[in-house]
Chains A and B, each alone.
Chain A
Amino acid sequence: MSKKLALIASKGTLDWAYPPFILASTAAALDYEVQVFFTFYGLTLLKKDISDLKVSPLGNPGMPMPVPMPNLVQMIPGMESMATMMMKQKIASKGVASIEDLRAACLESGVKLIACQMTVDLFDFKPEDFVEGVEFGGAATFFEFAGESDVNLFI
């Protein structure tokens, strides 16, 4: 019987979109059965169009910057878009996969993507907002799989 990986994806920024999709797609390549439960801001990662994911240097003192930048400067309108643009350029130049590609790899290899029904309702999302193949469920749905998983991670 194959091993199982259960992930909770709770963040919806460009940088934090990577860990769940990298781990899920790789685990699937290692013949794991994988389910990812998307809750709160993580739901953003299931939208049909995820080309507008952003990364913000604000509140993230660990983010490497080309020049030291005080918080006040990071608040200036346009800084977030600039940081996102620079991150995307870096991603492309280093041969790192795009989030779209990793998500497609997940769906192609049978990773189950589950949207938390409660947060879907909370944010007034519609089922048709999400990419095809997404399933809907609650905490009990997560535990049905997570309870018998070999690896469980909250991201």
Chain B
Amino acid sequence: MDFQKELDARGLNCPLPILRCKKALAEITDGQVLKVMATDPGSVKDFQAFCKQTGHELLSLETHEKEFIFHIRKQVKP
């Protein structure tokens, strides 16, 4: 999947992946895609909850052994 920015949050624990993701999203423009890599098992639910509450779109969630990869499209503000 295409993405415009990548965030390596591997090895970080709650709530750091979410905080770093929020920062990274601020650095791309509306509609662009951020790829996040994480190892925190709690991040699976947390990223779903984060997207649901903020309006960003969780395009995909993949699990590779103990690693999780998220693609998040930044919300397009009307």
Contacts and interface: CB of A to CB of B under 8 A. Distances in A.
B18 A29 contact: yes
Find the residue from B14, B15, B54 having the highest chain A CB count within 10 A: B15
A22 interface: yes
Contacts of B22: 29, 109
Contact of B19 (A94, A95, A96, A105): A105
Contacts, number: 35
Interface in B1-33: 11-16, 18-19, 21-22
Contacts of B53: 30-31
Interface string A11-39: 00000000000100110011100000000
A95 B16 contact: yes
Interface in A100-126: 101-102, 105, 109
Interface of A: 22, 25-26, 29-31, 94-97, 101-102, 105, 109
Interface of B: 11-16, 18-19, 21-22, 40, 50, 53-54
Given A22-B14, A105-B19, 11 more contacts: A22-B15, A25-B19, A26-B15, A26-B19, A29-B18, A29-B22, A31-B54, A95-B13, A97-B15, A97-B16, A101-B16
25 contacts: A22-B14, A22-B15, A25-B15, A25-B19, A26-B15, A26-B18, A26-B19, A29-B15, A29-B18, A29-B19, A29-B21, A29-B50, A30-B54, A94-B13, A95-B12, A95-B16, A95-B40, A96-B13, A96-B14, A96-B16, A97-B13, A97-B15, A97-B16, A105-B19, A109-B22
